[in-house]
Amino acid sequence: MNNIILKSDNISDLQIKNALIQSLSNLNKKLKKVLLLPPDITRFHSQGGKITSMYYDLLKDTCQVDIMPAIGTHMPMTHEEIEIMFGKDIPKERFIVHDWKNDIVKIGQVPGTYIREISEGLLDFSIDVEVNRRLVNSEYDLIISIGQVVPHEVVGMANYNKNIFVGCGGKSMIDSSHFLGAVYGLERLMGKDHSPVRKVYDYAENNFLKGIPLVYVFTVISQNQGNNQLSGLFIGRDRKIFEEAVKLSQEKNITFVEKPLKKVIVYLEPEEFKSTWVGNKAIYRTRMAIADNGHLIIIAPGVRQFGEDEDRDVLIRKYGYVGRDKILSYTKESEDLQNNLSTAAHLIHGSSDGRFKITYATDILTKQDIESVGFEYMPLEDALGAYDINKLRDGFNSLENGEEIFYISNPALGLWADKSKF
């Protein structure tokens, strides 16, 4: 199909709808059954929910439309979250839960020799390419993958084939690719294309997905003092369309600071961030901007657990965010981490390695909970009293006591970096 590209300061709903209509007409084939792969509630601001609802409305009267949120290892969406994300008009029975443990099939393997080459010799193992069986059993005439391109701590720039191999993938790919990114170093890849992890996904795409009737829909969201705007819409199948989205996201979603930040306050919206597994984006996306001996305070009213599932929660509580070297040592020695490499990767990502202080402010997880995994604790009420999120503006703020802080209202929407570290 022909690529569709819209770039504007604020793309309207009518422009979105017309682009989606054009994307369907470009296919020039009759559709009987369509699968939509949108993001989950943790990517609420992607506008993937709106686009999914629009596609459903365009297709529902002429074919069967199923929707399988690309949750990866995240917890399944609740009915309430589905209504918040996609509206109330889509019947709940049209939604499918991706089961990353039981609903997958192996479609190929990325060889260990290739992993050794792209990791610069750091790792040497093969990776099974596993995806949800619905993607490859030929029951759908069209599969539409929908999501936001934005700097990302595992792959460099989120979305494209990550939505397939992680969002709709299985344990081997999820665990191994996350661990590859952590060992290679997230500071080396965040905000960049062609990372070692992306090369793994590209290898799998080029070798094992060619016969699938797949179309990608990418959004790029820009933010202006809490107002999220759709600045880019990209629809197509080939990698060039993703590269165009990457260029725009790098322009819109990376904030360079002139000097390292001494104190950063990050707010986590309770509907979007319920675990440190997701909430630690506050750490990943700011770490290249924070000064040595700086302080990151994460205000997290909705964070109620560490992992997105019980198994990962147990491992995070057991090992804690204790730094790269310790986690790598534990992983060599401990079978439970060897069997859960994505958790080991997450623990590496979530530590500052002692370079700056990390404080979580919550009233659901206790002081003992927070301190047991290596963070410092602040009561939520104290944090909201000291840092009034209703008065703070994104960026630098001077408080009444004269202290200067840097405020971020949603860490999922960008990357902040000291120019010298990027």
Residues composing the chain: 422
Q: Note the pLDDT tens digit of each residue in 353-399.
A: 999 999 999 999 999 999 999 999 999 999 999 999 999 999 999 99
Q: What's the pLDDT at 263? A: 98
pLDDT of residue 74: 86
Q: What angle do CA 394, 398, 404 make, to 5 degrees?
A: 90
pLDDT tens by residue, 276-300: 999 999 999 999 999 999 999 999 9
Helix (H) or strand (E) run with residue 131 in it: strand 127-132
pLDDT band at 29 (very low <50, low <70, confident <90, very high): confident
Which domains, and CATH codes, for the chain? 4-253 (3.40.50.11440), 258-421 (3.90.226.30)
Q: Which two tokens stand for residue 166?
A: 């992680």
**Under a CB-based contact definition with an 8 Å cutoff, are residues 36 and 144 in contact?**
yes
Mean pLDDT calculated for residue range 394-411: 94
Residue 253 has a pLDDT of 95
Inform me whether the pLDDT recorded for 247 exceeds 80: yes
Q: Is the dihedral of CA 393, 395, 397, 403 positive or negative?
A: positive
pLDDT at 401 over 80: yes
Say yes or no to pLDDT of 225 above 70. Answer: no
pLDDT above 90: residue 215? yes
| pLDDT at res. 219 | 97
| Mean pLDDT for the stretch of residues 154-173 | 95
Residue 146 reports pLDDT greater than 90: yes
DSSP symbols for 362-415: ESSS-HHHHHHTT-EEEEHHHHHHHS-TTT--SEEEE-TTS-EEEEES-GGG-E
Sorting pLDDT into bands at 50, 70 and 90, what band is 211?
confident
Would you state the pLDDT for residue 224? 72
Give pLDDT, residue 342: 93
Q: Is the pLDDT of residue 1 over 90?
A: no
Cβ atoms of 141 and 34 within 8 Å: the answer is yes
Taking the CA atoms of 68, 272, 286 and 363 in sequence, report the sign of the dihedral they define. Answer: negative
CA distance 97 to 136: 16
Please give the pLDDT value at position 226. Answer: 65
- Taking residues 109-120, report their average pLDDT: 97
Which structure tokens are listed for 320?
Answer: 């804690």
Q: For residue 70, is pLDDT > 80?
A: yes
Nearest to 46, CA basis, from 70, 18, 21: 70
Q: Which residue has the higher pLDDT, 354 or 211?
A: 354
CB 149 within 8 A of CB 159: yes
Percent of the chain with pLDDT over 70: 100
- Whether residue 2 has pLDDT greater than 90: no
- Would you say residue 421 has pLDDT above 80? no
- In this structure, the number of other CB atoms found within 10 A of the CB of residue 158 comes to 25
* pLDDT averaged over every residue in the chain: 95
Can you give the pTM of this predicted structure?
A: 0.92
Q: What is the arithmetic mean of pLDDT over 303-326?
A: 95
Rounded Cα distance between 307 and 313, Å, is: 4
